[in-house]
Amino acid sequence: MFSSEIKSVHFVGICGTAMASAAVALKEKGFDVTGSDQNVYPPMSTFLADRKIGVMNGYAERNLAHKPDLVVIGNAISRGNPEAEFVLDHKLRYGSLPELLKEFFIRGKRSIVVAGTHGKTTTTSLLTWVFEHNGLNPSYLIGGLPNNLSQGARFTDSEWFIIEGDEYDTAFFDKRSKFVHYQPEVAVVNNLEFDHADIFESLDAVKKTFSHFIRLIPHNGLLLANGDDPNLAPLLKVTHCPVKRFGLGEGNAIQAFNLRYGPTATEFEIPSFKFHLNMMGELNARNALAVVACAKHCGLKNHQIQSAFDTFKGIKRRMEVRGIAGGVTVVDDFGHHPTAIRETLRALRIKYPREKIWAVFEPRSNTTRRKVFQDELVAAFSDADVVVVAEVARLEQIAAEERLDPEKLMQDLKNAGKDAAYLPDVDSIVSHVARNTQGGDIVCVFSNGGFGGIHGKLLERLGRK
């Protein structure tokens, strides 16, 4: 699909985690790489700058004046973007990031694709570290920055390619889910819930795209799936490839039992072996169980897996402590779906059983800006003592009857016994939190974006108390 004549590549929307990682990998392969984005903020901006990739701030036709041999158009780019229009007008060669990955990096490899609504980044990072720690030198692409690895992607000569399989659509010109491009030999499916209300009209639509993904697994491959998830169950009745279920319940081929949750670690057993994980909560236990199932299928032994678990350092923006100021601990978390928020707060409650936990939430994703999870969000904050919700991002873009109703959310949270506030911007949130926190409090910030640099602003203000 992409010819060998390609020497220069331009990425439109380069600051997406996967886009930036692929751009760096191509530069390391000897390509001339440029990129543009309108959301240039750490960690991706510094990640690219450190690797000498110039990022043009904002989208403009002049960014493509050098007529690159290939333009990779990110999935957040839509018609009307000046660079997308320039590409179409001038008939430049273009493609999506998933196409680029398939053609340049995945084809011919043993591809392990980790999919599911929750836990993809953690599971992919942990699995990659298990392979890396044990000398298998895998290629990988992860939609986050694992602390054990210097970047979110690497492309090696190894037969293994481990990739986070996102169900979000590929590009404005390809509305299929990204993961259908990834040629899975082994597919790990953690769970399945409704999400991405901007592209899926229902849970059934999400199930359909996962069924398309499962259809790609070869006869000599493997579908590894969460056997406890009722939404996944109908998709596992396939005969074209082997199916193995993992989970905590009876009837799973790989079942974890004797789970113990501690403030800094989790333990679980499978027959003949006990695993110890330096992460908290049930969701991470399930993520680790998926890794155990996959790694064992690929030939690794229990003690090799545990040795990697012992040295795993987690992922940026996943319950990441950003600092302590004025005795208040500020935690950064990428959670933006009610289930992810609930599980993170549940794990934090195990870690901080007596402390006051604040949840500061930015409704920024295309789903949480809508009323789809109006009621679920209330339950998601049950383990928080105080809830602060930022103004719903880009509210004017959503019809009134489809929007999240902040007033109702505040009232429902207060009815549930929570101290809750809906505040318009970062500065008012920082003031509110600084005024009302005390030493020992935990402030967990939930956002899938930069949130106006709130973490640094909070730590600076708290440090002046």
Half-sphere exposure of 203 (CA within 13 A, CB side): 11
What's the confidence (pLDDT) of residue 3? 67
User: What is the distance of C-alpha 160 from the center of its chain?
Assistant: 21
- Tell me which DSSP letter residue 237 carries: -
CA–CA separation, 181 and 292 (whole Å)? 25
Q: Would you place residue 195 in the very low, low, confident or very high pLDDT band (cuts 50, 70, 90)?
A: confident
Paired strand residues for 442? 329, 357
Among 202-206, 243-247, 262-266, the range with the most confident prediction by mean pLDDT is 243-247
Task: Give the residue-averaged pLDDT of 10-33.
Answer: 90
- What token pair was written down for 198? 């901007």
CATH number corresponding to 320-463? 3.90.190.20
**How many Cβ atoms from other residues are within 10 Å of residue 440's Cβ?**
12
- What token pair was written down for 101? 């990955």
* CATH homologous superfamily, domain 99-310: Mur-like, catalytic domain (3.40.1190.10)
Q: Are residues 268 and 257 in contact, defined by beta-carbon separation less than 8 angstroms?
A: yes
Q: Give the SS3 label for residue 77.
A: coil
What's the confidence (pLDDT) of residue 388? 95
Q: Among 258, 300, 324, 52, which Cα is nearest to 162's?
A: 300
Instruction: Pinpoint the residues of the chain covered by CATH 3.40.1190.10.
Output: 99-310
Half-sphere exposure of 416 (CA within 13 A, CB side): 21
- What token pair was written down for 55? 């990022």
**How many Cβ atoms from other residues are within 10 Å of residue 281's Cβ?**
21
Instruction: Pinpoint the residues of the chain covered by CATH 3.40.50.720.
Output: 8-95
Task: Give the residue-averaged pLDDT of 295-312.
Answer: 97
| CA separation, residue 246 to residues 129, 189, 193, 319, 435 (Å) | 20, 10, 17, 25, 46
Segment among 129-143, 171-185, 194-208 with least mean pLDDT: 194-208
- Helix, strand and coil percent figures for the chain, each rounded to 5: 35, 25, 40
- Tell me which DSSP letter residue 319 carries: S
CA–CA separation, 387 and 132 (whole Å)? 39
CA–CA separation, 132 and 308 (whole Å)? 9
Task: Give the residue-averaged pLDDT of 60-72.
Answer: 97
- What token pair was written down for 184? 């899975």
Helices (H) and strands (E) in the chain, counts: 13, 24
What pTM does this model have? 0.81
Q: Does domain 8-95 have CATH number 3.60.15.10?
A: no
Task: Give the residue-averaged pLDDT of 160-186.
Answer: 95
Q: Give the SS3 label for residue 11.
A: strand
Task: Give the residue-averaged pLDDT of 366-393.
Answer: 89
Task: Give the residue-averaged pLDDT of 5-10.
Answer: 94
CA–CA separation, 261 and 138 (whole Å)? 31
pLDDT tens sequence across 117-155:
888 999 999 999 999 999 999 999 998 778 898 778 888
Residue keyed to tokens 């997308």: 84
CA–CA separation, 253 and 394 (whole Å)? 45
